[in-house]
Structure 1
Amino acid sequence: MDHLIDDLFLFSKLDLKRVPFHFENIDIVDYLTDCVDELRYDPNLNGVKMNFLYDGKGPVTVVADREQLRRVIMNIVDNSIKYKRDKTLEIGFDLIVGEKDVTIAICDNGPGIEREALQRIFERFYRAEKSRNTETGGSGLGLAIVKQIIEEHGGKVWAESQAGKGTTIYFTLQKSKAMK
């Protein structure tokens, strides 16, 4: 119940533009490397395989709020964990560098999301899992919060999924002016 109240409070503050953002230039390669390393050693994620793919060279600087970006990543990872199957869950991070922005893809090998539900997963209180049972939990706010935070960063968020094969959540961040 506390988690639901926290999510509702945060969502409401985001909706009213009352969450302070502290934007700064950060090296997204280092940030994601550190984030994935932390997740690998998180005892709550024991048995989850994590990897980060980036075949570019050198730093890539984006404009972001470190704390809010961490919340985005954790909400996406938490969603993957909630709906994992019996097999070992694998979560991969990929960084795609564009001319003016970067795209971060977080993919899993979970059960996937049905096509009809996919277009609604970023709506508040929407849960693709119809039974809304206590096993999967969740408020239906996690991905709605992700969307609001990424939009505050001037980015976009979307998802692709195949039932039975997994889901990939993508979001963009703007490169810092020095990088463009």
Structure 2
Amino acid sequence: MHAYSTDSNERVNIPFYLAAASILSAWILPKFLNWIGLSVPWWFDAPAVIGFYGIYYKLFDTLFWKWLAKVGIIQTPDLNGLWKGHFLSSYDGHTTQKVATIEIKQTWTKMCIVFRNGTSRSKSMTSSIITTNAEGIVISYEYQNEPNYDTVSTMQIHRGFTRLTLSTDKKELDGEYYTGRGRLSYGTMRFTKT
């Protein structure tokens, strides 16, 4: 997975809240240990703030943000899962709907988007989520495409770019793509979360 960018203020605010919770937890820890009758050496308590911060950050990055996104407290949407759909390509004049899937693996700070169809596989290299667009939430990513061994000879490894808009019910991705040198095609795509 790679890091992704977002225009949400969460990336500034959330670490502050996690730091405050870590300081509070480190302050409570020795009082709790005394209360249950445990005595620990001084060096156990010294790194407590950093230890709590690391634990809280990891839990937030992998779990808590998903729950907070579901209830609307976090703007970054949880896109994890398999999305099934189709795309149209300029390669054949946009005449044939081709079946494809997008699999998204995501934490609060990292993401990987894998596109598959019958002839190739693409994997995201960079991505971003724009949460303040008038059209809705927009997911953009640059990818590298690797054709299957049995595809047509004109299909080479190439790079491209995809821009998808998330529906308001967060169940559909709709957008377009274009490819770089070596392929020079473009098209539209639509996916539904399974």
Give the structure-2-normalised TM-score. Answer: 0.23
Higher strand residue share: 2
**Structure whose alpha-carbon radius of gyration is higher:** 2
